[in-house]
Amino acid sequence: MKDDMDYQKARERMVERQIARRGIDSPRVLEAFRSVPRHLFVPQHKREFAYSDGPLPIGRGQTISQPYIVAYMTEALELQGEERVLEIGTGSGYQAAILGELAAEVYTVERHQDLAKTASQRLQDMDYENIHVIQGDGTEGLPEHAPFQGVIVTAAAPEVPRPLLDQLDEGGRLIMPVGSRGGQVLKLYQRREGDFSVKALSPVAFVPLIGEHGHSAP
């Protein structure tokens, strides 16, 4: 059983060795990773692995992503602090907490009711008043809270759901793994004068995005 000091040291090591050393250099992003207690977002029996260099199971066949991937996707959004951000795929709530440190408001949508409920309670217990967890099909986005200056999708589909592009603000950025169930590429979209620029970043492997504008349910 580790105490808080052990976790803090493990977290510092994670930031240094897995994130900063691999090229993430935004001071705001690094600070967010130093401050969010990742061990509180994984199941109790996996806590000792919370700061290891990989994804971990969180139930329902879903995962909390590798810390480096969370950092990489977060940095790509270039958040300054004033943004309203939409996340699709709340999972454990860890990515939402990181976003909550870096943006004004975070809306995060999770398809599985039990995961949404656990994440919501967890974030409330940590006093994240700027994070709103919603249960539903995130491929529809959240038109009632649009436009978003940042959108992050943490599950994969063959194409970006059209409603998510439509809900992106002028100048806003969207990052998502795009490809087949077997493997995908992270793609970064930016809305510019009604059009979208697209950049292919790195190869990744995410769980499927299941919904109206994604994969059909297994």
- The answer to the question of residue 110 lying near ligand SAM (CB under 6 A) is yes
Interface of this chain with ligand SAM, residues 113 to 132, rule: CB under 6 A? 115
Q: Does 88 bind ligand SAM (CB under 6 A)?
A: yes
Q: Tell me if 141 contacts ligand SAM by CB under 6 A.
A: no
Give me the DSSP letters along 118-167: HHHHHHHHTT-TTEEEEES-GGG--GGG--EEEEEE-SBBSS--HHHHHT
Q: Where are the alpha helices (DSSP H) in the chain?
A: 4-13, 27-35, 67-76, 94-102, 113-125, 162-166
User: Does 214 sit near ligand SAM (CB under 6 A)?
Assistant: yes
Written as six digits, the tokens of 38 are 């990742």
Nearest distance from residue 212's CB to ligand SAM, in Å?
A: 8
Q: What are the φ/ψ torsions at residue 11 (nearest 5 degrees)?
A: -70, -45
The answer to the question of residue 207 lying near ligand SAM (CB under 6 A) is yes
For the question of residue 65 being annotated catalytic, the response is yes
Q: Which is nearer to ligand SAM, 136 or 147 (CB)?
A: 136
Residue of 35, 65, 92, 197 marked catalytic: 65
Burial of 98 (C-beta count, 10 Å sphere; 0-12/13-18/19+): buried
Residues with catalytic function: 65
Interface contacts to ligand SAM, rule CB under 6 A? 62-65, 88-89, 91-92, 94-95, 109-112, 115, 137-139, 154-155, 206-207, 209-211, 214
